[in-house]
Amino acid sequence: MEVNIEQLEKDFQAKIDAGISIEPKDWMPERYRHQLIRMMSQHAHSEVVGMLPEGNWITRAPSLMRKMVLLAKVQDEAGHGLYIYSATETLGISRDEMINQLLTGKAKYSSIFNYPTLNWADMGAIGWLVDGAAIVNQTALAKCSFGPYARAMLRICKEENFHQKQGYQILANMMQGTEAQKQMVQDAVNRFWWPSLMMFGPSDKNSPNSDELMRWKVKLYSNDDLRQRFIDRTVPQAEAIGIKIPDDKLKWNEKTRHYEWGEINWDEFYAVIGGNGPCNRLRMKQRNDAHKNGQWVREAAIAFAEKRKKNKAA
Amino acid sequence: MNKDLFEYTLRLGDTSLILSQRLGEWCGHGPMLEEDIALTNIALDLLGQAKAFLAYAGEIEGKGRNEDVLAFHRDANHFRNLLLTEQPNVDFGFTIIRQLFVSTWQHYLYSELTHATDKNMSALAVKSLKEVNYHLRFASDWTLRLGDGTEESHQRVQAAVNELWNYTGDLFEIDQVDEALLKLGIAADMKKVEASWNKHIRQVLNDATLSVPEINNFMRTGSRKGVHTEYLGFILAEMQFLPRAYPDAKW
Amino acid sequence: MKEQSSLESSEIFQLLYAIPDPEVPVITIGELGVLRSVDWVNGQLNITITPTYSGCPAMFAIEAEIKTILKENNITDFKLKTVHFPAWTTDWLSDDAKKKLSEYGIAPPQHSSQIKHLRPDEVSLQCPFCNSDKTHLTSWFGSTACKALYFCDNCRQPFEHFKCHH
């Protein structure tokens, strides 16, 4: 029987329009598959590279409780990375291939992790702002058309919520502490505020993939909409504990019921994406070193498994 | 206060704390994601155990030192962790062998302590033992894979066994604290622990085609008295920096 | 002396029982077995909880939530105690809680009596999404200490498993 691609695509779109989720065994257009692999692997890479800036502070956390919370958070991220890699594999790409794309710089990860973590309050700022931005993104993705990704986002979001609260708590606590602690907090927020806004991607007028992704319900809201949502919910949280948002133009607009805010430094945005952020090279080196140093371990595991298989067969 | 019990509890807590600190250095740098998560998970279990033991030590001492004061405001000579735990990660093979040696020790020690007449001690031992069982399985499985894997992995992990063996005498040193508490039915009988440890380690190493080093003259001990290797000072410098630099701050 | 709150200890137990787990909010700390007891002793409320895993960071959030709820109910004189004995086990999870986990997409723990002596990769699990038995272990350690990662070979997607801890 002749397979009619046009008909398949029509049925596919009808399914999406009806809100039926697409499953790994279902037919899907190659371009849909490709876009999902791109997005999901980028997400998984972000979780894994994201372990580095926070991992920095595990050995230096200032109390056993904070150390425990941070260790657990980084473990969570690694676990999310593993889960999303596994979900992405169902689209027909191996984890080795994805990791290779990351290590060779072919695949991207969230640019926020190309910024350094310089003081302890950065652990709070990352939890509060970076996880906060991720939650806004992922809450939207929990309704996306690809079943395994949407389901993963649902549960991952709950865990991220927990991280965000913990991050906020680090900052709230420090804001009630000594002058030096308050300064640390403000310094951290000054450095992480704008990069957090950049996590939502280019402005809508410069976002090339958007139409197609929206039609396929891979993306449900525009970058600027999500960014605005993040700002609206985050600014009051800053005010509640006495943090100043580093944006002179920031003000509440009673009419639109939204915050107005300044302009993102798009030169910086594109520089970091292009590999020239403060830590791009360092992060890639750390990932590559870990991979290289682990080569003999992976080889040993394979060799051992093969020996066992042979013994069993014999 | 029972000074011996304080000392004994400190040893258990410090051992878990310093090993956790070392494992935490791996975070984000593991040979594969699964192993990265496993090492972090073990670090987290150990940290939780350390916190509980140190909190109990502070309670026994009764001078208002809580677990954070004990962890962040003692100098190296007051730490009672096993020398093995402060040895550097070096590579995944070293980390696994160090874990194998310590987890095996904890496994048999906690098994004994589940019968301790001190209720808090036995409760913490029961709780910790469940978690240590997983650590031990992880370390044993990887010792097998690395020992009986490739030529390179075999050599690397044998080098780790040879090097770390020098610190295993420290595991079983007995002093008056052990003796006094053993009489009260609180401490573990280290002779028993040592026999079980030796049996299990020899079995695992043998299965992994690794050889057990011969007894040599370089057996380092001293953790019971707070005499450590040079590594501990650096570990503490990093771990304690924030509370020391900002003594008035609460975190 | 008059008690600060007119609530019976059993009523407070129910209030605290319903606190959702901070990371897996479909189940409560009561269903998990973290909340052990609530008693009035001479006008002071004694609450005991027990940690799941020693290093579980959710315990701090759970303690904070308990304190918030007590405050909302005007209970100011209380003692919140962490006990380690009897040690927590997944055998304490109610059938209801296991059902909720499964519906949430996490394969619940089996009873320890069912899996004695089995290694983790030998435990056969049902996929929470399609109920197939054709599943395999991906990683014994997952995003949280209590979970492992599995894969369903039938509906071809990963799922999490709340490990049996005994």
Per-residue pLDDT tens over the stretch A269-294: 999 999 999 999 999 999 999 999 99
**Number of domains composing chain B:** 1
Higher pLDDT, B126 or C114: B126
CA–CA min distance C82, chain B (Å): 10
Q: What is the mean pLDDT of chain B?
A: 96
Q: Is residue B176 part of a domain?
A: yes
Which residue numbers in chain A have pLDDT < 70? Answer: 1-2
pLDDT of C112 reads 87
Q: Which two tokens stand for residue A218?
A: 């891979």
Q: What percent of chain B has pLDDT over 90?
A: 96
Cα torsion angle, C106, C159, C123, B207, sign: negative
Q: What is the pLDDT of residues B29-80, one digit of tens each?
A: 999 999 999 999 999 999 999 999 999 999 999 999 999 999 999 999 999 9
B44–A68 CB contact, under 8 Å: yes
pLDDT-based confidence at residue C1 (cuts at 50, 70, 90)? very low
Measure CA B101 to chain center. 9
Q: Give the nearest chain A residue to C151 (CA atoms).
A: A86
C-alpha dihedral (A257, A261, A267, A273), degrees to nearest 10: -50
Residue in A24, A73, A162 nearest the CB of C157: A24
Q: Is residue B191 part of a domain?
A: yes
pLDDT band at C80 (very low <50, low <70, confident <90, very high): very high
Is it the case that residue B217 has pLDDT exceeding 90? Answer: no
pLDDT of residue C117: 63
Please, what are the domains in chain C? 9-88 (3.30.300.130), 106-162 (no CATH)
- Confidence band, pLDDT 50/70/90 cuts, at residue C120: low
C-alpha to C-alpha distance for A188 and A182, rounded to whole angstroms: 10
Domain containing B237: what range? 3-213+220-245
Q: Are B155 and B208 in contact (CB under 8 A)?
A: no
Set of chain B residues whose Cβ sits within 8 Å of the Cβ of C141 = 34, 37-38, 40-41
Residue C58 to residue A68, Cβ atoms within 8 A? no
Tens digits of per-residue pLDDT, B11-36? Answer: 999 999 999 999 999 999 999 999 99
- Give me the residue from C55, C87, C166 closest to B44, CB to CB: C55
In a domain, B251, yes or no: no
Looking at the predicted structure, is the pLDDT value of residue C3 above 70? no
Looking at residue A1, what is its pLDDT?
58
Residue B45 lies in a domain: yes
| Separation between Cα atoms, residue A8 and residue A235, nearest integer Å | 46
pLDDT of residue B161: 97
The verdict on residue B250 lying in a domain is no
Distance CA B82, CA B72 (A): 18
Task: Check: CB of residue C84 under 8 Å from CB of residue B124.
Answer: yes
Q: What is the CATH number of the domain that holds B92?
A: 1.20.1260.10
What pLDDT digit, counting tens, does each position of C105-119 carry?
Answer: 999 999 988 876 666
Residue at B46 is within a domain: yes
pLDDT of residue A313: 83
DSSP string, B137-166: HHHHHHHHHHHTS-HHHHHHHHHHHHHHGG
Residues 96-125 of C with CB under 8 A from A: 104-106
Q: How high is the pLDDT of residue A210? A: 78
Residue B115 resides in a domain = yes
- Cα separation, A160 vs A155, whole angstroms: 9
Three-class DSSP category at C35: strand
Q: How confident is the model at residue C2 (pLDDT cuts 50, 70, 90)?
A: very low
ipTM > 0.95 (yes/no): yes
The predicted-structure confidence for B161-202, as pLDDT tens digits, reads as follows 999 999 999 999 999 999 999 999 999 999 999 999 999 999
Gap from A266 CA to chain C (nearest CA, Å): 34
Residue in chain B lying closest to A81 (CA): B33
Specify if B161 maps to a domain. Answer: yes
